[in-house]
């Protein structure tokens, strides 16, 4: 038995997505920039996908720009908005994905911005009062806060963040990579400047994503070249990837309510079973359904202090998951997220992340294996 519980890292392709991509590879191989019929057919695929994504997000097609994934989209939004709007101050949190955190840290290191990090509590919740305090002293700031943390699963109230940003005329960018395809995003009802998505987080292909740019904002490209993406992103479009991305998001929205209920049930079941099997286990971040991404569960193990060995034992048992620790000594730089919430450095953490393909039987097997590891030490 092989059990895949690392869906926050990447998800397996949906069979319907594979079918669309194979058909596109076989039949629509033209360059979308070519003016002949093969090119026009490929261009139609790209624009149809753009329209599909825009309709699902309640945005305009002209606000959707295809990228190589979430990291490029985050970089483009951050770097180019700072330049376009003459921003000298940015606010983020210490638990952001490195695509955001490292980008802003580099800009701060080169003197282009002053960077402030929001306070977070021991559960990883950001301090919105601190956000208001910082914005009151630094209006017209760039605020970059993710919708859900990729390690802990904490959900942030980006609707409330957008309202605060609007009050202080701040530019708001949100990395929505972990929640795209798992929660509805109605962009016509939210005052947000930039959001990002990556196909492989919701059963689409790797190497393709998108950036939503509110039509009120005008920024320059991050990648120069041809006139692709309405002069906003040079390079020949990944036509079959884009087709797969749109199909995956369409499926995600179609089945969202059903999958939310099913996957939340798996997560809740695993919390219950782990608590019974290993009473001293600890859960990192929020685990309440309204405050936590239903696809992610982060646990700290009481029975070993070696993260790599724990993951190795799981792997040889056919269980794929991600791990980390708060350690920052030696070669193990540890997790910046776990350090930020002051997690116990002597307890390795495991992130289990679920999808529609997982089962309760798999959860039972994983819980039994974790108990076995603890009992053997």
Q: How many CB atoms lie within 10 A of CB 322?
A: 19
Instruction: Indicate the SS3 state at residue 351.
Output: strand
Residue 144 φ/ψ, nearest 5 degrees: -125, 110
**Closest to 196 in 3D by CA, of 227, 173, 218, 215:** 173
Q: Please tell me the distance from the alpha carbon of residue 268 to that of residue 287, in angstroms, as a whole number.
A: 9
What is the Cα 47 distance to its own chain's centre?
24
Beta pairing class for 89-92 and 114-117: parallel
Mark whether 303 is an active-site residue.
no
Phi, psi of 318 (to 5 degrees): 85, 20
Would you call 161 exposed, middle or buried from its count of C-beta atoms within 10 A (0-12, 13-18, 19+)? Answer: buried
DSSP label at residue 62: G
Asked if 152 contacts 341 with a C-beta cutoff of 8 angstroms, the reply is yes
Span 18-29, pLDDT tens digits: 999 999 999 999
Q: What is the largest CA-CA distance in the chain?
A: 68
**What distance in Å separates the CA atoms of residue 13 and residue 187, rounded to the nearest whole number?**
26
* 219: number of Cβ within 10 Å: 19
Beta strand pairing status for 3-4 and 319-320? Answer: parallel
Q: Could you tell me which of 370, 77, 18 has the C-alpha nearest to residue 217?
A: 77
pLDDT tens digits for 38-47? 999 999 999 9
Evaluate whether 234 touches 226 at the Cβ level (below 8 Å): yes
Q: Count CB atoms within 10 A of the CB of residue 216.
A: 8
Per-residue confidence of the chain (377 residues) as pLDDT tens digits? 899 999 999 999 999 999 999 999 999 999 999 999 999 999 999 999 999 999 999 999 999 999 999 999 999 999 999 999 999 999 999 999 999 999 999 999 999 999 999 999 999 999 999 999 999 999 889 999 999 999 999 999 999 999 999 999 999 999 999 999 999 999 999 999 999 999 999 999 999 999 999 999 999 999 999 999 999 999 999 999 999 999 999 999 999 999 999 999 999 999 999 999 999 999 999 999 999 999 999 999 887 656 678 888 899 999 999 986 544 434 456 789 999 998 888 788 999 999 999 999 999 999 999 999 888 76
Q: Which domains does the chain have, with CATH numbers?
A: 3-11+256-375 (3.90.1150.10), 15-254 (3.40.640.10)
Going by the DSSP 8-state scheme, the letter that residue 333 receives in this structure is: -
Kindly state the tokens that stand for 53. 């994504």
SS3 49: helix
Contact present, 116 and 134 (Cβ < 8 Å): yes
Q: Which of 267, 292, 260, 281 is nearest to 349 (CA)?
A: 281
d(C-alpha 242, C-alpha 54), whole Å: 13
Of residues 165, 303, 327, 374, which has the active-site annotation? 327
């Amino acid at each position: 038995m092989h059990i895949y519980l690392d869906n926050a890292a990447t998800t397996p392709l949906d069979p319907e997505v594979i079918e669309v991509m194979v058909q596109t590879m076989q039949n629509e191989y033209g360059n979308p920039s070519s003016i002949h019929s093969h090119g026009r057919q490929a261009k139609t695929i790209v624009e149809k996908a753009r329209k599909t994504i825009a309709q699902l997000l309640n945005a305009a097609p002209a606000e959707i720009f295809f990228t190589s994934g979430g990291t490029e989209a985050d970089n483009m939004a951050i770097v180019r908005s700072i330049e376009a709007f003459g921003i000298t101050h940015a606010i983020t949190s210490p638990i952001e994905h490195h695509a955001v955190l490292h980008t802003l840290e580099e800009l701060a290191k080169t003197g282009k911005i002053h960077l402030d990090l929001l306070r977070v509590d021991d559960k990883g919740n950001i301090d919105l009062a601190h956000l208001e305090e910082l914005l009151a002293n630094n209006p017209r700031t760039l605020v970059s806060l993710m919708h859900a943390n990729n390690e802990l699963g904490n959900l942030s109230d980006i609707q409330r963040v957008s309202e605060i940003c609007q009050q202080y005329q701040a530019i708001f960018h949100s990395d929505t990579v972990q929640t795209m395809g798992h929660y509805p995003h109605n962009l016509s009802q939210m005052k947000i400047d930039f959001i990002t998505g990556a196909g492989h987080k919701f059963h689409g292909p790797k190497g393709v994503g998108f950036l939503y740019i509110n039509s009120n904002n005008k920024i320059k490209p991050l990648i120069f070249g041809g006139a692709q993406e309405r002069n906003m992103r040079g390079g020949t479009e990944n036509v079959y990837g884009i087709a797969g991305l749109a199909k995956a998001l369409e499926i995600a929205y179609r089945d969202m309510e059903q999958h939310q209920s099913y996957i939340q049930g798996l997560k809740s079941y695993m919390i219950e079973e782990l608590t019974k099997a290993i009473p001293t286990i600890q859960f990192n971040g929020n685990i309440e359904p309204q405050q936590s991404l239903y696809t992610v569960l982060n646990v700290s193990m009481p029975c070993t202090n070696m993260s790599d060995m724990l993951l190795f034992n799981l792997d040889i048992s056919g269980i794929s998951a991600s791990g980390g620790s708060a350690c920052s000594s030696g070669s193990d730089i540890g997790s910046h997220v776990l350090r930020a919430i002051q997690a116990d450095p002597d307890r390795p953490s495991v992130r289990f992340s679920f999808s529609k393909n997982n089962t309760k039987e798999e959860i039972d097997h994983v819980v039994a294996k974790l108990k076995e590891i603890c009992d053997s030490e």
